[in-house]
Amino acid sequence: MIFSVGHSNLTWDHFRSLIEAPDIGVVLDVRSTPRSRLHHFNKPELRYRLNSIGISYVHMGDQLGGRPTSGAADYETMATTAPFLDGIAKVLEIAGRCRPALVCAEHEPLECHRCLLVARHLVEHHGAQVVHIQRDGRIEPHEDTEDRLLSKWGDGGDLFRTRAERLAVAYRLQARRLGAGK
């Protein structure tokens, strides 16, 4: 199982409670730039605080970040690059040893590349079980997040397209809304 959580503007104690409850063993920071206006979420401080409570920290923003170093973000293209695929392989390898959590800044999964790019790929291409930790501590299975995505973009129960086809359209529309798609 691979967890996903956004730190948003949470206090350290609140964030800590969210990742300790499901017994996270390693935080995989997928922020392209691991900085925050909240000191405790800046890379060096976050690593220190996590390590002090027995949780490992790995920055993976170079491979799995949502902001490319050049050009506009296009999640569908980014998901085919060698660095991204290498990052995905590393996530899967880590998940075989301990319980990881993908961490980014945005609280709402549907507003973040950790869901629209990383979790999507893990689920669609590797059959991974991904769940999103909500601000109130609820655990939302990725399939439920996808149901919300379909509802948001007017799923309408199109009888002529499969769920996967409807999801592909909804993912594309959501990424475009966030400025990360064609």
Pairing type for strands 130-133 and 139-141 reads antiparallel
How far is residue 56's CA from residue 49's CA, in Å, rounded to a whole number? Answer: 10
Residue 71 has what pLDDT? 76
Q: Is 72 exposed, middle or buried (0-12, 13-18, 19+ CB in 10 A)?
A: exposed
Domain ranges of the chain: 2-141
Name the helix (H) or strand (E) containing 113.
helix 113-113
Radius of gyration, CA atoms only, the chain: 16
How far is residue 62's CA from residue 82's CA, in Å, rounded to a whole number? Answer: 12
Q: What is the pLDDT of residues 75-132, one digit of tens each?
A: 999 999 999 999 999 999 999 999 999 999 999 999 999 999 999 999 999 999 999 9
Which two structure tokens, joined as six digits, stand for 164?
A: 């996967």
Q: What is the pLDDT of residues 49-75, one digit of tens each?
A: 999 999 999 999 999 999 887 778 899
* Diameter of the chain measured on Cα atoms: 53
How far is residue 18's CA from residue 13's CA, in Å, rounded to a whole number? Answer: 9
How large is the average pLDDT for residues 33-53?
97
CB 39: neighbour CB atoms within 10 A?
11
What CATH class does 2-141 carry? alpha beta
- Whether the per-residue pLDDT at 142 is higher than 90: the answer is yes
Residue type, 88: I
